[in-house]
Structure 1
Amino acid sequence: MTPKQVVARFMDEFYMKKQVRSSFERWVDPGYIQHNPYAATGRDAAITFLEKFVNENKGQHTKIHRIIADGNLVAVHSHGWNEGGDAAAQRGFAVVDIFRVKGCRVMEHWDVISPVPEHSANTNTMF
């Protein structure tokens, strides 16, 4: 299985099916390294944080726009939004997740998140 296939399956199980624990136990290494400064490192820490987030944000949705792979690094460009939130939450965020994969396991994660503005200086979308 290629790194891109590993990440695509992980993203589907985690983001689309919202199966946090099973997706992390199946696809993420226990020694998972997290680079987001607002999240603790380690697979168990991610499961604890994300199960709570998913349970408290039932209106949260994600649409994956592209998955790009370069060797063992995989970037996922997506749109996340919350249908139950205010106008800004409904516009959501453009997200780029970058994963380092070894074998069939996600080993490391970085992300960059940018809010979708109410008005844009151009007619292009963020996606």
Structure 2
Amino acid sequence: MTPVEKNKQLTITAYQRIFGDLDITGVDEFMSKDFIQHNPSTPDGQDGVKALVQMLISQGVPKQKIEFKHVLADGDIVSLHSRYEMAGKEWRFIDIYRVENDKLVEHWDAMMQMPDVRANNNPMF
């Protein structure tokens, strides 16, 4: 497996375990202790991600199999385009991770809820 393929597999596995399976132990296993978070609503570090997962659990977000539409990698950067359900609504996410020493070390994202009324018939996924 090439380093890029290894980074892709690591990122997919981590994302499914942490956000699909809602398994907080995955944070310690897959994320660096000094994890850098670029989403302004989540603090840096492992504790910020753990608090986010706890919030999802407390809001009744179900464990689910994450659907990945696109997984793109360029060196140490891996981008995921995924479908997720929260609060009874479908969401689309684009998550970008930087991988270093077999750990996720940095994260950027963009998210969009599937609207009730659409301006076009183009798929979001």
What is the match of residue 76 of structure 1?
80
**Unmatched 5+ residue regions in structure 2?**
none
Q: Show the counterpart of 1:41.
A: 44
Structure 1 counterpart of 2:68, which letter? I
Which aligned pairs between 1:1-127 and structure 2 lie closer than 5 A? 2-20=6-24, 22-59=25-62, 61=64, 62-82=66-86, 85=87, 89-90=88-89, 92-127=90-125
**Aligned Cα root-mean-square deviation (Å):** 1.8
Equivalent position SS for 1:109: strand
Runs in 1 of length 4+ with deviation above 4 angstroms? none
Unaligned runs of 5+ in 1: none
Following the alignment from structure 1 to structure 2, what is the Cα–Cα distance between the partners of residues 123 and 12?
A: 29
Task: Quote the offset at 1:75 in angstroms.
Answer: 0.6
- C-alpha deviation, 1:123, in angstroms: 2.2
Report % sequence identity. 24
| Secondary structure, counterpart of 2:116 in structure 1 | coil
